[in-house]
Amino acid sequence: MLIHRTRVIQNLLITKLLKIPHSVTMSFNDNRRWVNHYAGPETPVSTICEQFSKFEGGKIELSKDDESGVAILKINHPERRNALSGSMMVDLWNAVNTLEDWKTGKGIILHSVGETFCSGGDLNTVRQISNPDDGYKMATLMHDTLTRLHQLPLISVALIQGKALGGGAELATSCDFRLFTEKGEMGFVQGRMGVVTGWGGGTRLVQLLGQHQALELLLTSRQIPASEAVTLGLANGITKSVELSEAVEETKQWLQLKLNHAPQIVHALKQIVATARAVPYEESLRNERQVFAMLWGGDANKKALEQNIKHK
């Protein structure tokens, strides 16, 4: 008790002496290390959207094709190398809301226009929100959006046709798959910008590559080319075409090969994988048997049994 009280007083004094903003807490943790963490208010995402929609520039456009079941999410801000402004973060949040309600959809392709995939946060927006409270708000909004994009029951693929830098690399990790053109590159340059991953990309990178590869890419900020991205397992292939419209067509064909099953099966399979990467083992198994039981003996299952299918 006495140790705890001393530590609280010690922490308060240090915070005051160093003139650290009230939302940032410095404390001595149990491993006797100084840690610096944000301890400000939580803001509802809808309130953050209102604030961030004022930082204008560029657009994220969603188009759904009911016939193929594939939607296109297009990042359109070429004059700023497809950096995400505040209003584009809100566009993306709205697009994910719409996609969550798309019951007949099966897949999404995320791509951009021009020669850069995405140069991260729009530095014009970033400069206007350059304080811990607003940084926490941006991270809250982007964590909400990209986690829900990652967890959608649709199969998502990002086409990286140029540089994916900082937040742009983080955005790409929120898709199930990534295809690169020969000109695609990915770099977690946040460290060089004096920050760390703010859109959840650090966590997803560890899940994708394991802690050692993730640390190496985060610490060096080096930009990896398409061939190395494939070797590392960050890219799932390289398109034959470098030209954007052809690469988008190739990506559609690549994705369609994975979308032959009925929407309910695609959704159920994605739900199993998305749950497995987000929750502990036992919880994931419970989810898997619940999803399985919903389909077992259902129409599609009975029809398949009647056909006496041979998997030769």
Ligand X SMILES: CC[C@H](C(=O)O)C(=O)SCCNC(=O)CCNC(=O)[C@H](O)C(C)(C)COP(=O)(O)OP(=O)(O)OC[C@H]1O[C@@H](n2cnc3c(N)ncnc32)[C@H](O)[C@@H]1OP(=O)(O)O
- List contacts with ligand X (CB under 6 A): 80-81, 83, 116, 119-124, 126, 163, 165-167, 189-190, 193, 195, 198-199
- Do the beta carbons of residue 84 and residue 57 sit within 8 Å? no
Compare residues 71 and 138 and give the one whose CB is closer to ligand X: 138
Compare residues 155 and 186 and give the one whose CB is closer to ligand X: 186
How far apart are alpha carbons 302 and 109 in whole angstroms?
A: 32
Short-list 123, 108, 124, 130, CA closest to 61: 108
Compare residues 106 and 163 and give the one whose CB is closer to ligand X: 163
Q: How near is the Cβ of 110 to ligand X at its closest, in Å?
A: 16
Compare residues 157 and 165 and give the one whose CB is closer to ligand X: 165
Short-list 255, 167, 159, 154, CA closest to 205: 167
How far apart are alpha carbons 57 and 36 in whole angstroms?
A: 33
Q: Whose CB is nearest to ligand X? A: 120
Compare residues 190 and 275 and give the one whose CB is closer to ligand X: 190
Q: How near is the Cβ of 191 to ligand X at its closest, in Å?
A: 9
Q: Find tokens 């056909």 and name the residue.
A: 307
Q: How near is the Cβ of 301 to ligand X at its closest, in Å?
A: 44
How far apart are alpha carbons 160 and 53 in whole angstroms?
A: 26
Q: How near is the Cβ of 154 to ligand X at its closest, in Å?
A: 24
Q: How near is the Cβ of 80 to ligand X at its closest, in Å?
A: 4
> Alpha helices, DSSP H only, in the chain?
2-17, 45-52, 86-100, 123-128, 132-151, 167-172, 201-209, 211-220, 226-232, 244-256, 263-276, 281-295, 299-306
Q: What are phi and psi of 132, to 5 degrees?
A: -55, -40
Strands 107-112 and 70-76: parallel
Compare residues 123 and 262 and give the one whose CB is closer to ligand X: 123
Q: How near is the Cβ of 106 to ligand X at its closest, in Å?
A: 30
